[in-house]
Amino acid sequence: MSDGGAREAGGAREAGGPATAAEDDGAGRGGIRLINVTKRYPGQGTPAVDDVTMTIRSGEIVVLLGPSGSGKTTMMRLINRLIEPTSGKIIVAGQDAMGLDPTELRRHIGYVIQNAGLFPHMTVATNVGLVPQMLKWDKKRIAERVDELLELVDLDPAQYRDRYPRELSGGQQQRVGVARALGADPPAMLMDEPFGALDPITRGNLQDSLLRLQEELGKTIVFVTHDIDEALKLGDRIAILDKGSRVAQYATPQEILLNPADAYVEQFLGGGQAMRLLQFSRVADVPLQDVPRARTGDDAADVRRRIEDSEIGFAIVLDERDRPVRWAHPEDVEGVSGPIGERGMAVAPPIRARDTLQQALETLIQIEHEWVPVVGPRGVYRGTVTLGTLQNAIKDMKDRARTRRRPS
Amino acid sequence: MNFWEYLDSRRERLQFETWQHASMVFQCVLAALVLGLLIGLAVYRSGRLSAVATSTAGVIFTVPSLALLGLLITPLGLGVAPSVVALTLYSLLPIVRNTIVGLAGVDRTLVDAARGIGMTRTAILLRVELPLAWPVILTGVRVSTQLAMGIGAIAAYVSGPGLGEQIFSGLARLGGANAINMTLAGTVLIIILALLFDGCFVLIGRLTTPRGVRV
């Protein structure tokens, strides 16, 4: 996404980045496009949604974020025509939504609302199987699909299939709600403050589940919320909405934090951007320190030379599976001939690359070592961080944002 | 002749009249249920129409049953016709009112969810709204039935069918032989019928209310 699109969003409501201007619709196979969409309610002076143009790319979670009255729910409901637009064009997965039968359209767009909206007189299985049933799937296929979906949302089918919604906790109900929305494997899903009524712990768990699910399924998701932290956590892209669904900024979370488009966005963020950057950026995203590497079998003199050649002053010793085990300082290998073996100081428990910068910071502050190794999947060494690394990373992000803000 | 001897001696007649009474009440309430549902469905979406329907049924309800039956003699004559019409009209109020209340009481977010996942108008009504309103509607039917049991007795005033005949004849010859027995037999049998019907409703309620919404 170019910063150009994001900045223009403030004034011109062109919020899809450069792709909207091009011939290619930029939305991809499962994407959603709103083109000059307006919703005006009779008897109301100002439109609820005012000439919005926006591209939601296939496979992305786009969060519509705004205070109540910003029209974010209205905007979402236009997509599956629960609200009919007054004018404009809506394209869902390459098809003109206005040209489709609304009920048919809705069966192919998942819909999740606050408190799940499960039908209390139907079992979990019936609820989840509703859309396939409406699409006239045969019974066996529906039953299989229901079990598959329940497993997908981490509910044991055997245990939950025949329960009624009121026999489930709020979080479980919402899981079933998500399963129901995925019934006929729709390319896109609309979620209207789905986790708004849950306690913070359950909400966190469900957000994590949604991200895991999304990694697997890659749906196009439009997610409505007024919770900025939820938006930053879930959104691949966030649209911050002002009155009349004016798209104040449409950009990635990092971009929004580093480079708020206008005073409204800044006010909406309400400060604490640096902390939020730490909270929503991952260690994998920042440049790590490179430290001379050694293996337990390496010759001590050789290792000493490597240490002397670098400015770091010590090396990291990896085991046979590339997992960090020890730091080797020149004094550890002084006068030793042959392999370095078990010499050196054991490393601190490593930081994982998928940890957030905040978690990394937490570790660095609490631990007695200045240098902490970072590991990827299966504990494989990736690099090393210090407090300075993180500081530089944040500074870099800010610098980059600043240069981008200046017109080139 | 004591009460038991009376019952024994008139067994066949009493059995017939009890059957007639039960059948009349059943058919009238059934007719009222169909009518009431249709009226309720037609108006529940509009607050104003709902108010009109409920108050109209309420007005009919305030007309004394004896007067209504009497007034119906002119257009409909004596016998079954005015009895059935009057009974159905009286049964309408609780059913119409509960249908409206029940349907209006269905959580709007559920209807929204139903639309959102692509249910048609008819499917929403049949699969979501009516099943959820059903316990309330059924309560209305139950009240109607009790009502119709009592008012059904007065149908004898226009020579209608049922156990009212016993009560009215008994009261007419108060002081004569078996007068008390007749009145008593009519009353007791109506009470027994009412209890039986009510028991049936409890059973129907349990059978037709899914576990997920049972109180």
Per-residue pLDDT of chain B (215 residues; tens, 9 = 90+): 788 888 888 888 889 999 999 999 999 999 999 999 999 999 998 889 999 988 888 888 888 888 888 888 888 888 888 889 999 999 999 999 999 999 999 999 999 999 999 999 999 999 999 999 999 999 999 999 999 998 988 888 887 788 888 888 888 888 888 888 888 888 999 999 999 999 999 999 999 888 878 76
Q: Is the pLDDT of residue A142 over 90?
A: yes
Q: Pick the last residue of a domain from A280, A308, A337.
A: A280
Give the count of domains, chain A.
2
Given CB atoms, is A164 within the 8 Å cutoff of chain B?
A: yes
Based on the fold, state whether residues A360 and A254 are members of the same structural domain.
no
A135-154 as b/e: b if 16+ CB within 10 A = eebeeeebbebbbebbebbe
Cβ of A134 within 8 Å of Cβ of B123? The answer is yes
Cβ of A180 within 8 Å of Cβ of B117? The answer is yes
The pTM is what?
0.77
DSSP string, B15-82: HHHHHHHHHHHHHHHHHHHHHHHHHHHHHTT-HHHHHHHHHHHHHHHHS-HHHHHHHHHHHH-SSHHH
Based on the fold, state whether residues A269 and A298 are members of the same structural domain.
no
Give residue A344's pLDDT. Answer: 82
B3-213 fold: MetI-like fold (1.10.3720)
Given CB atoms, is B115 within the 8 Å cutoff of chain A?
A: yes
Based on the fold, state whether residues A266 and A291 are members of the same structural domain.
no
Question: Looking at per-residue confidence, does A331 or A191 come out higher?
Answer: A191
Per-residue pLDDT reduced to its tens digit, A28-82: 777 899 999 999 988 888 888 888 999 999 999 999 999 888 889 999 999 999 9
User: Residue A71: CB partners within 8 Å, gap ≥ 6?
Assistant: A39, A48, A49, A241, A243, A244, A245
Q: Pick the last residue of a domain from A264, A280, A296.
A: A280
Closest by Cβ to A117, choosing from B109, B120, B131: B109
Is residue A343 assigned to a domain? Answer: yes
Give residue B215's pLDDT. Answer: 67
Q: Determine the average pLDDT of the residues in A128-146.
A: 95
Contact A117, B110 (CB under 8 A): yes
**CATH number of residue A381's parent domain:** 3.10.580.10
Based on the fold, state whether residues A194 and A309 are members of the same structural domain.
no
Q: Which residues of A touch B127 (CB under 8 A)?
A: 119
DSSP string, A346-371: EPPPPEETTSBHHHHHHHHHHSS-S-
Which of A:127-156 have CB within 8 Å of B? 130-131, 134
Question: Among residues A3, A73, A68, which one has the least CA distance to residue A39?
Answer: A73
Give the nearest chain B residue to A168 (CA atoms): B212
Q: Pick the last residue of a domain from A227, A261, A280.
A: A280
Q: Which domain holds residue A360?
A: 285-393
Is residue A376 assigned to a domain? Answer: yes
Give the nearest chain B residue to A135 (CA atoms): B118
Could you tell me the two tokens for B78?
A: 């004596």
Based on the fold, state whether residues A297 and A265 are members of the same structural domain.
no
Give residue A240's pLDDT. Answer: 94
Per-residue pLDDT reduced to its tens digit, A250-285: 999 888 888 888 899 988 888 777 788 888 888 888
Q: How confident is the model at residue A7 (pLDDT cuts 50, 70, 90)?
A: very low
Gap between the Cα atoms of B21 and B154, Å rounded: 11
Task: List the beta bridge partners of residue A342.
Answer: none
Based on the fold, state whether residues A197 and A331 are members of the same structural domain.
no
Give residue B157's pLDDT. Answer: 82
Is residue A196 assigned to a domain? Answer: yes
Give residue A404's pLDDT. Answer: 64
Is residue A39 assigned to a domain? Answer: yes
Based on the fold, state whether residues A211 and A299 are members of the same structural domain.
no
Closest by Cβ to B212, choosing from A113, A122, A130: A122
Q: Where are the domains of chain B?
A: 3-213
Cβ of B113 within 8 Å of Cβ of A130? The answer is no
Give the nearest chain B residue to A166 (CA atoms): B212
Give residue B209's pLDDT. Answer: 86
Phi (first) and psi of residue A332, to 5 degrees:
-70, -30
Q: Is the pLDDT of residue A232 over 70?
A: yes
Question: Looking at per-residue confidence, does B88 or A402 come out higher?
Answer: B88
**CATH number of residue A216's parent domain:** 3.40.50.300
Residues in chain B: 215
Is residue A403 assigned to a domain? Answer: no
For chain A, what percent of residues have pLDDT higher than 70?
Answer: 92
Gap between the Cα atoms of A45 and B178, Å rounded: 80
Q: Which helix (H) or strand (E) holds A63?
A: strand A61-65
Q: Which helix (H) or strand (E) holds A91?
A: strand A87-92
Q: Which residues of B touch A164 (CB under 8 A)?
A: 210-212
Based on the fold, state whether residues A275 and A292 are members of the same structural domain.
no
Q: Which of A73, A109, A121, A185 to mutate to test the interface with B (most CBs of B within 10 A)?
A: A121
Q: Is the pLDDT of residue A10 over 50?
A: no
Cβ of A113 within 8 Å of Cβ of B128? The answer is no
Based on the fold, state whether residues A264 and A304 are members of the same structural domain.
no
Cβ of B213 within 8 Å of Cβ of A120? The answer is yes
Give residue B110's pLDDT. Answer: 95
Q: Is the pLDDT of residue A20 over 50?
A: no
Based on the fold, state whether residues A386 and A301 are members of the same structural domain.
yes
Q: Which residues of A touch B112 (CB under 8 A)?
A: 82, 113, 117
Is residue A114 assigned to a domain? Answer: no
Q: Which residue has the tokens 């409501």?
A: A13
Give me chain A's average pLDDT, please: 86
Is residue A262 assigned to a domain? Answer: yes
Cβ of A165 within 8 Å of Cβ of B212? The answer is yes
Q: How confident is the model at residue A241 (pLDDT cuts 50, 70, 90)?
A: very high
Based on the fold, state whether residues A275 and A294 are members of the same structural domain.
no
Based on the fold, state whether residues A293 and A346 are members of the same structural domain.
yes
Which of B:122-181 have CB within 8 Å of A? 123, 127-128, 131-132
Cβ of A106 within 8 Å of Cβ of B117? The answer is yes
Closest by Cβ to A107, choosing from B109, B118, B131: B118
Q: Is the pLDDT of residue A160 over 80?
A: yes
Give residue B4's pLDDT. Answer: 86
Is residue A14 assigned to a domain? Answer: yes
